[in-house]
A and B are shown apart, each in its own frame.
Chain A
C-alpha cells in the first residue's frame, strides 16, 4: 500500500526497569487524523517521541514514507512536533520562532517572509510578527507553535496534548480549528490526548492505548459503539460493565444471566457457548430505568441511589444488590424517580456489547 505514510513495527521501549512500550504496531495513511488516546503513563508521549526521533526504541522499526528512519536524527526526519507546553523559543519573537526551521534550511529571505505571513494568516495571528512569546496568551502561543511546525511542510505533524493547557471553551474552539486546518493542509496528524471527547470529535481513527500497547484501533464510531475490551468501553464511553453467564437465544442474541436479573446482548458474529462467563458493556445513555415489570422478566433489579445534574445531563446512579453501581444518563430532563425507588435496569439488545472476548480466550 503506497498511501501509508508512517508505519511502526513492533516498537519496544523501557526506561530503566519500567517497560513503557510493549511491542506496538501502527500504520497511518497519508492525510489521516489519528489520535493516540490513553491515560497518562500509557506510553503515548513516548510513542510520539520515537516517531519524532527524540527517543530511540529498544527494538522495532519506524518507517516514514516507506523509508526506515529508526536511526535517523530528529533533524533529518520530515516530521515536526507541536509540544505540550509549546516550547516556543523565549528569546525570539513570533516571526523568528516560525522562521526558525526555514532559516536553518537557508531559505531566501523573501520566501521566508512570505511563508511566515501565510502561516500566521492560517492560524489567524496576522500582525503578531514582532510579539515575544511571553506577550501572548495560551491560545495564541498554541497557534504560533502550530504555525512553526507546519512551515516546514512535514509529512507528519505530531501533536502532544496541544490543547491540554487551554480552558474548556477555547479547547472546543481549537478542536474545530485544528480539524479544519488539518483538512486544508492535508497533512497527516498524529494527535495525543487523554480526553476521549476530544479524540471522538476530531479523529479519523483512534488508537486506544493501555500500558504500552494498543487496546483497540478504529474509527470513533467503531471504538465508541463497538468497544472490544472493558477497558476501551470504560475509557472511551464511560460504559457500565455487567458480568454474567451467557445463553444463546438464536438470531445472534444472547441472554445474560446475572445475580440481579436478566440482560441481553448481540453476539455480532462472536462464538459464545452456553454457560460462558462474559462481560457486557452498556453505555450510560443506553440504560433505561423502568418501574413496571417487563416482558420476559428482563432487567436487573436495582435501587435508585442518587440523582444529579452534570452540565445539562441528568445522571441517575442506581445500586445493585451487591452494592455495585450503574450510571444512567439523560439529556437535561428531570425524572420522577427519587432515591430509594426500586427499578429495573434494561437496555436494547443492540446496545449491549460483549467485551473482553479475546482476553478471556
Chain B
C-alpha cells in the first residue's frame, strides 16, 4: 500500500513508462535492504520451517518394519501417546519442569534483581562470570557434576569431612541430581531475563513509594516486583520450555531412572527407530510450549521475550 502511495507523484512526472506499480514493486524487490535480508529468509525457510513441516508430515505416517517410514496416513502415533506409560512421561516432564522453574526463579530472581543494582564495573564482572561457563560444552560441565555427586565424590567428601553426614549420600542417578543439574543449566537464563528487566527499573519510583509511606517491603511488592514481573515471566518461559526437552541432563545425572519427554523422543528416534512416533511426540511438545508462550504473552502483555535479544 505504501508503495502505491509513493508511486503516485512519480506517475505524473514520468508518463507512458512501464506501469508504475510494477516498477515500484520491482524496485522494492531489488533494493539493497530487501536483498540483504534475503539470506536470512532462505536460511529460516531451509533450516527452520522446512524441518518443522517435515516433522509434522512424518508424525502422520506409518513406521516401516525395517528402515524409514511408509507413506500411509495414520492417527496411531497420536493415539499411542495416550497410553498411560507415555502420558506418565509427559506428567513427569511437566512436574520436573515446574520444580526446576520454581527453584530457578527462587535463585535467579534475587540474583538478577540485585545484579542490576550493582555499579557498572561490578555488573560487567558479574556478567563475565556468568558467561564463562558457556565457553565450555554443557556436556563437559555435566560430567563435572558426576564427579561432585558420585558416591565418595566431592560433595560426599566435603559433607563427611565436616561431619555433617556419616555415609555417602549416593546422590548420583537420583531425581535430586537431575533437578540440581537442570537448575544449574537454566539459572543463567532466568538471571539474564530478570536482570534486563530490573536494569530498566527507575529507582526513583521506589524512592517515591518510600516517600509516600511505603515500607521497603511494600515498595518492593507494589513497585519493583510489579515492574520486573515481565522479566520474571520471560525467565519462567525461558526455563520451563527447555526443561521439558533437556534429555541429556536426565540421561547423564539420572541414569535410566528419570525418563522425560526429551528422553523418550531421543529413544524413539535413535534406538527404537520409530521416527513417526518421535515426530508425534515432538509435535505435542511443541504445542505445549506454544501454549506456554501464548499464556505468557497474555499475562505480561509483552510481545518479545526479554533477555532473549
Contacts and interface: CB of A to CB of B under 8 A. Distances in A.
Interface in B197-211: 202, 204-205, 207-211
Contacts of B213: 75, 101, 104-105, 152
A240 to B, nearest CB: 40
A197 interface: no
B160 interface: no
Q: Which of B205, B207, B212, B213 lies at the interface centre, i.e. has the most chain A CB atoms within 10 A of its CB?
A: B212
Contacts of B205: 87, 89-90
A60 interface: no
A74 B211 contact: yes
A81 interface: yes
A90 B208 contact: no
A90 B223 CA distance: 9
A79 B211 CA distance: 7
A91 interface: yes
Contact of B211 (A81, A91, A105): A81
A260 interface: no
A73 interface: yes
Interface in B9-63: none
Contact of A83 (B204, B215, B218, B226): B204
Contacts of B202: 87
A255 interface: no
B159 interface: no
A164 to B, nearest CB: 14
B269 interface: no
A61 interface: no
A271 B222 CA distance: 61
Given A89-B223, A90-B227, A75 B204 contact: no
A52 B218 contact: no
Contacts of A104: 212-214, 218
A283 interface: no
A87 B219 CA distance: 13
Contacts of A73: 210, 215
B237 to A, nearest CB: 20
Contacts of A83: 204, 207-208
Nearest to B210: A74
A87 B203 CA distance: 9
Interface in A79-126: 79-81, 83, 85, 87, 89-91, 100-101, 104-105
B226 A52 contact: no
A91 B211 CA distance: 18
Q: Which of B204, B211, B214 lies at the interface centre, i.e. has the most chain A CB atoms within 10 A of its CB?
A: B211
B227 A87 contact: no
Nearest to A96: B222
Contacts of A149: 212
B204 A87 contact: yes
The B interface is mostly helix, strand or loop, or mixed, namely helix
Given A87-B204, A87-B205, A52 B223 contact: no
A101 B212 contact: yes
Nearest to B223: A89
A80 B214 CA distance: 12
Q: Which of B208, B214, B215 lies at the interface centre, i.e. has the most chain A CB atoms within 10 A of its CB?
A: B208
A81 B212 CA distance: 8
A354 to B, nearest CB: 43
Interface in B177-226: 202, 204-205, 207-215, 218, 222-223, 226
A44 interface: no
Contact of A100 (B207, B209, B215, B226): B209
B207 A54 contact: yes
A148 interface: yes
B210 A54 contact: yes
B227 A91 contact: yes
A297 to B, nearest CB: 60
A152 B208 CA distance: 13
Contacts of A89: 205, 208-209, 222-223
A71 B105 CA distance: 35
A80 B212 contact: yes
A75 B207 contact: no
A149 B226 CA distance: 21
Nearest to A78: B213
Q: Which of A79, A89, A152 lies at the interface centre, i.e. has the most chain B CB atoms within 10 A of its CB?
A: A89
Nearest to B218: A104
Contacts of A54: 207, 210-211
Interface in B239-295: none
B204 A52 contact: no
Nearest to A85: B204
A149 to B, nearest CB: 8
A104 B223 CA distance: 13
Contacts of A80: 211-212
Contacts of A85: 204
Closest 5 CB pairs of A and B: A87-B208, A101-B212, A74-B210, A87-B204, A104-B213
8 contacts: A75-B214, A87-B205, A90-B227, A100-B209, A100-B214, A101-B212, A101-B213, A104-B218
Interface of A: 52-54, 73-75, 79-81, 83, 85, 87, 89-91, 100-101, 104-105, 148-149, 152
Given A53-B210, A81-B208, A87-B204, 7 more contacts: A75-B214, A79-B211, A80-B211, A89-B209, A89-B223, A90-B205, A91-B226
